[in-house]
Amino acid sequence: MSATERRERERAQRHQLIITAARELAEAEGWDAVTTRRLAERVEYSQPVLYSHFKGKDAIIRAVALEGFEDLATEMRRARLAEISRKEALRALGRAYLDFAANRPALYEAMFVMPTVLPFASDDTPSALRAAFAEIVAVVGPHDDEELYGLYAEVFWGALHGIAVLVHGSRMPAQYQGDRLDLLVERFAPPETD
């Protein structure tokens, strides 16, 4: 391995270390605790090294959010593919989404609640966001009209997001999560074919 390749690998490892440290700190103490000073201490690099990877906290949050979308897409895909019927796949996907939001509240906040420069629903949308949305499109809505796939997926996603945020904010009781998901699945599941 050449010296250049080694430096690139070390830089990539530092980059990932910063993202991981930001995720862990945010989950433990909230996003207000994530500062470049705290991250520098945690990863044992100077603040200028952090700034050589990220322009500031917003760029770190963006990187964390992108990684979160990759994780969410993977979890929804795994849940969706574990089921035989499309209706049960939709239910499993919805459960995976809501569990993800409940189990990683700071990460979910970075992805969907905090201001970000991540472009949604545009030509510039990053592949991780597209992959997560594609998982929803794969199982929701009537599949006799392809132009409505995205619309059905957006509304289903919006409903899941609303439930996740309202439960997290204690605006809705968590114990009815399954009932809410059942209602959504009944409204959004594609018709079963024989």
CB atoms within 10 A of CB 122: 7
Q: What span, in angstroms and rounded, lies between the C-alpha atoms of 119 and 130?
A: 11
The per-residue pLDDT for 94 is 97
Query: Is 101 exposed, middle or buried (CB count within 10 Å of its CB: 0-12, 13-18, 19+)?
Result: buried
Asked if residues 104 and 68 have their Cβ atoms less than 8 Å apart, the reply is yes
pLDDT tens across 1-42, in order?
788 888 888 888 999 999 999 999 999 999 999 999 999 999
pTM equals 0.90
* Residue that has been written with the tokens 């500062």 in this structure: 35
Average pLDDT, the chain: 90
Is the pLDDT confidence value at 87 over 70? yes
Cβ pair 160, 98 in contact under 8 A: yes
Distances (CA, A) of 162 to 52, 97, 167, 169, 184: 37, 12, 8, 10, 12
